Chain A
Amino acid sequence: MSVVVRGLTKHYGADHAPAVSDVTFQAPTGGITALLGPSGAGKSTVLRAIAGLERVDAGNVIIEGQDCSNTRIQDRNVGFVFQNYALFDHMTVADNIGFGLRIRGRNRSKIDQRVTELLELIQLPEMRRRFPAELSGGQRQRIAFARALAVEPKVLLLDEPFGALDVKVRVELREWLRKLHDEIRITTLLVTHDQLDAFEVAEHVVVLFDGKVAQAGAPHTIYDKPVTSRVAQFIGGGNMMATGARATRTLTALRDSGYPHASEQHGQVQVLVRPQDLRLAKPTQETLAEELGVVEQLRRIGGYMRVTVRLADGQDVEVECPKSQLDELGITQGDRVRVDVREAKVFVNDYAI
């Protein structure tokens, strides 16, 4: 119950669609909550509203049971980490980290002590006297974390904190954040457009589309039981069997395997199958014509193979499987294969059934 956002609404202009519309969710105490969504979904607006950096048209932000909708930014006691670090370039690393404490008028030796502690925590003890311009992106972002943590905020707000970093540093910093959080257990909200950030770091995920909450829950729940096809696609990618006849045909195949019944009488039907939920097999005597496909392309991604198969109805599907498995089957480009569906998600009128 540490951070509760209730009915948050924000327009940037009278003639624009709302950037955020009636957003309600809870971020559990001591956990990491990810606000996940494509760019323009309103994630940052929500985060900035929690910090007080953004005025909202309606709604409340409740931090530890206290409604801070009318609290000034400097009194909210939140830590905010920006995508571009936003360090004070004219101050040393130590002065950056100690800034919040100096503002609060703490005495010099206490500040020094706290700065030392934090530099240990972010594993950059030797950087004390450096200036931000002398540090790498990953180091700067860690300094920004330390600066935000120095004042012992009630909540830590991270706005795309890995967004400006290259992939390797991004992965490292993500793991580092996970470990850091295990140590200090501060309620954290993380804004990201990258589902990997969300899934690897967060215990709770709030998916936002077009300024509205599309789904909220544990990462595995969202992955396994996406409520709409849009969430499903955004989270995991995969093969969307389009509406109409194609979907029906896929459904015919699925029905036999005991998947939810749906027909076009219910409305628009979509079927989503993730690449790793499809299995390739050599065709046998009993294989029906519509289950057959032709291997169009094989791509190796590390130990995995990504295979593009053109189905009998002309649709391409992506199949992912270990390379060893493919070698055993001896499948190569141009082969005829049978595609088995292990698991699929069926949506009618964009809602999961």
Chain B
Amino acid sequence: MDTVRLRRTTRKRIAVTAQGAAPIRWFLCGLALACVGVLLVLPLIAVFVNAFSQGAAAYLKNVSHPETLYAIKLTLLTAAIAVPLNTAFGIAAAWLIAKFDFRGKNVLVTVIDLPFSVSPVVSGLLFVLLFGRQGWLGPWLSDRDIKIIFAVPGIVLATIFVTFPFVAREVLALLQTQDSNSEEAALTLGASPWQMFWHVTLPKAKWSILYGTILCNARAMGEFGAVSVVSGHIRGMTNTIPLHVEILYNEYNFVGAFAAASVLALLAVLTLVLKRYVEWRAAK
């Protein structure tokens, strides 16, 4: 929400300073549009053009291929687990950091940012080292016949790890800029801490929670690196859409690869539309 506000004021300021400097303005706008066009729009179009290069029938056949369908299902399942969990964790962590002082607070803040600063591949590797057959917990897990690496739990864990900061960061930014007076007012009016959280804090943070959730979802569905390491690429078992796209592409099944990619792109576009809507509502 704050980024939205910031962006608005910046836009206003730029508009003011750019008055009377029309050539520069046109140049910069043109440059930006060219960049966006070449780097973002063109590839998106290319995905769909390639997906439909052999006609709609071939596209549908590829999209409805059981392995592709499974990849879509697994991607949605992963997001469906990772996003709610990270939303809950994120709100709790943001609340803790914003409202309380305790030992190790700085460590917690750093840990939350860790997934942003560590390469996803390394994140994936962490889980292999932890749960893999040679890993710390590997023997214990295989004794009990629990499979995490090269199985769905590993994919979900890696996705949760990589997408952890989104909600926490968004909500923390909001809570840190607002004082606690309305929460305190709720307490003096007889609300229990839980009622206060439910009736006052949560509605206040509603839009930043939703915004964080959308970002988290976008990343959860699109994550490649970390998931790739822990997945093992078993078709129809541990393949998410991004992994499936890579496999198909490497097999020279371009229509299949782009068809799968188009599904992911559609999901991404849907997420972005949702994000714009939330930003618009939050700004209102």
Contact = CB atoms under 8 A, between A and B. Distances in A.
Q: Sort A-B residue pairs by CB-CB distance and give the 9 closest, nearest first.
A: A86-B181, A100-B189, A80-B188, A73-B187, A90-B203, A86-B185, A86-B182, A82-B181, A103-B190
B179 interface: yes
Given A88-B200, A90-B204, A103-B195, A51 B188 contact: yes
A265 interface: no
Interface string A67-106: 0000001111111101010111110000000011001100
A43 interface: no
B199 A99 contact: yes
Nearest to B206: A90
Nearest to A153: B188
Contact of A147 (B179, B185, B203, B204): B185
Contact of A74 (B181, B182, B190, B204): B190
Given A89-B204, A99-B199, A103-B195, A147 B181 contact: no
A151 interface: yes
A53 interface: yes
A80 B184 contact: yes
Nearest to A99: B189
A32 to B, nearest CB: 19
A84 B190 contact: no
**Interface size class, chain B:** 10 to 19
Interface string A29-55: 000000000000000000000011100
Interface of A: 51-53, 73-80, 82, 84, 86-90, 99-100, 103-104, 144, 147-148, 150-151
Contacts of B263: none
Contacts of B187: 52-53, 73-74
B9 interface: no
B134 to A, nearest CB: 50
A86 B183 CA distance: 8
Nearest to B191: A103
Nearest to A100: B189
A77 B182 CA distance: 17
Nearest to A102: B199
B192 interface: yes
A292 to B, nearest CB: 56
B186 interface: yes
Contacts of B186: 88, 99, 103
A51 B187 CA distance: 10
Contacts of A76: 188
B188 A88 contact: no
Contacts of B189: 74, 99-100, 103, 147-148, 150-151
A78 B188 contact: yes
11 contacts: A51-B188, A74-B188, A74-B191, A74-B192, A79-B188, A80-B185, A86-B182, A87-B185, A100-B191, A148-B188, A150-B189
Contacts of A86: 181-182, 184-185
Nearest to A82: B181
B190 A77 contact: yes
Nearest to A81: B185
Contacts of B182: 86-89
A53 B184 contact: yes
Contacts of A79: 188
A78 B199 CA distance: 19
Given A74-B192, A88-B200, A103-B191, 19 more contacts: A51-B184, A52-B188, A74-B191, A75-B190, A80-B184, A84-B179, A86-B184, A86-B185, A88-B185, A90-B203, A90-B204, A90-B206, A99-B191, A99-B199, A103-B189, A103-B190, A103-B195, A144-B185, A148-B189
Contacts of A78: 188
Contacts of A73: 184, 187-188
A148 B200 CA distance: 16
B208 to A, nearest CB: 13
Interface in B181-239: 181-182, 184-192, 195, 199-200, 203-204, 206
A88 B203 CA distance: 9
A305 B131 CA distance: 86
A150 B187 CA distance: 14
A145 to B, nearest CB: 12
Contacts of B200: 88
Contacts of A148: 188-189
Nearest to B192: A74
B155 to A, nearest CB: 38
Contacts of B184: 51, 53, 73, 80, 82, 86
A88 B195 CA distance: 13
Between A51, A77, A100, A104, the greatest number of chain B beta carbons within 10 A of the residue's beta carbon is seen for: A100
Given A84-B181, A87-B182, A151 B204 contact: no
B189 to A, nearest CB: 4
A87 B184 CA distance: 11
Contacts of A104: 190
Contacts of A53: 184, 187-188
A133 to B, nearest CB: 11
Contacts of A150: 189
A86 B186 CA distance: 9
A150 B190 CA distance: 11
Interface in B163-191: 179, 181-182, 184-191
A82 B179 CA distance: 11
A147 B204 CA distance: 19
A144 B182 CA distance: 11
B184 to A, nearest CB: 5
Contact of A100 (B179, B190, B204): B190
